[in-house]
Amino acid sequence: MKKVITYGTFDLLHVGHINLLRRAKELGDYLLVVLSSDEFNALKGKKAYYSYEDRKIILEAIKYVDEVIPEYNWEQKISDVQDNNIDVFVMGHDWTGKFDFLKDYCEVVYLPRTEGISTTKIKGDLKLENQK
């Protein structure tokens, strides 16, 4: 069985998230999503709209996702790959090169993002709409 891993906050789920998860799953038989915990988001200066628990429930309902575990820090990626026998690490292309250190442990793939959509854009659009 070929196992794939990806990481993210997955807040305000949108078609870009679904496209990334679908394409990640196409690279293997099993997709493990490592979801940013609320504590890790706070360390990064981010605040998700939905709690970790709610984002986990949403991700687990997506047919491409086989398992969801928490992300607590940047440093856990090597142990996640090793502990879960991962074959392929997947991230969006805006992270290209940032995780090449994982090539010692698995294949690293950077997938193109869906153009014109992101959680940041959605939040910005909502903020502008509320200012009207």
Catalytic residues: 44, 46
Provide the token pair at 105: 């442990």
The tokens describing 12, both together, are 């305000």
Strand pairing partners for 122? none
- Which among 124, 83, 100, 120 has a CA at the least distance from the CA of 8? 120
